[in-house]
Amino acid sequence: MPKCIDVHVNFLLVLLIYSQLTLYKNISYNRTLENTTDLGVQLDAELSMREHVSKVASSCFYQLRRLRQIRRLVGLEVTVQLVSAFILSRLDYCNSVLAGLPRCTTEPLQRVLNAAARLVLNLRLHEHITPALQQLHWLPIDYRITYKLCLIMHFVHTSRAPQYLSDCVQTVARSSRSRIWISGRGHVESRMLDIIEVPQGTGIWGGGSAPPP
């Protein structure tokens, strides 16, 4: 991943975890709990997200088994719509909290996406999956996460994001001309580049960097 994208992903990971953990003020913190669920996302004590990924993958594979039973009865267009509703929606839900995790952690979700593509296009296990994903215009899991973060950041930058997200960041500098890296295009000139940061005193515990006692 290009360095400039990686920096934005690391920043947005902190931003998204903060926004989702502090959305409801009545959520209490207990050191003795090994994991908890917030907005349908399982959070473990180490924020490894392995249990959440496993739960999502298991749910998606269950839905794929059900869809496989009716695949021969419906056409390609209907299958794409069903997979989008029952599989892709689960893969994309709150996937921003998975940013920055090692690929071995998100690999089960990629296997779900590959299985969904094979179901839609009636592919065998030994057939290459990359052309199928390109044909369906489906981004791999890592790129879906990056796209979600960039889209949210774009909404923040253009004042179209919810206020609680906009309050989490501020522009600290503005460069009139710079060179940025874009995958597939190399270095390109950018006339305007905003440098943003999370204000001091903002943390996932709602006002400080340390958890409550």
Domain residue spans of the chain: 3-168
- Count of Cβ atoms closer than 10 Å to residue 64 Cβ: 18
Closest Cα to residue 86, out of 67, 70, 68?
A: 67
pLDDT of the chain along its 213 residues, tens only?
444 444 444 455 545 554 444 444 444 444 445 778 888 888 888 888 999 999 999 999 999 999 999 999 998 999 999 999 999 999 999 998 898 899 999 999 999 999 999 999 999 888 999 999 999 999 999 999 999 988 888 888 788 888 888 777 766 655 555 555 555 556 655 555 555 555 555 444 344 433 333
The predicted structure's pLDDT at residue 69: 93
Q: How far is CA 3 from the centre of its chain?
A: 18
DSSP string, 107-155: HHHHHHHHHHHHHHHT--TTS-SHHHHHHHT---HHHHHHHHHHHHHHH
Mean pLDDT, the chain, as a whole number?
76
| Residue 187 host element (H or E) | strand 186-190
Angle 181-105-60 from CA coordinates, rounded to 5°: 105
Q: Which two tokens stand for residue 31?
A: 């050191």
Per-residue pLDDT tens digits for 127-152: 999 999 999 999 999 999 999 988 88
Task: Decide: pTM greater than 0.85.
Answer: no
Q: Which two tokens stand for residue 61?
A: 């594979």
Q: How far is CA 193 from the centre of its chain?
A: 24
- CA-based torsion, 99, 103, 107, 113: positive or negative: positive
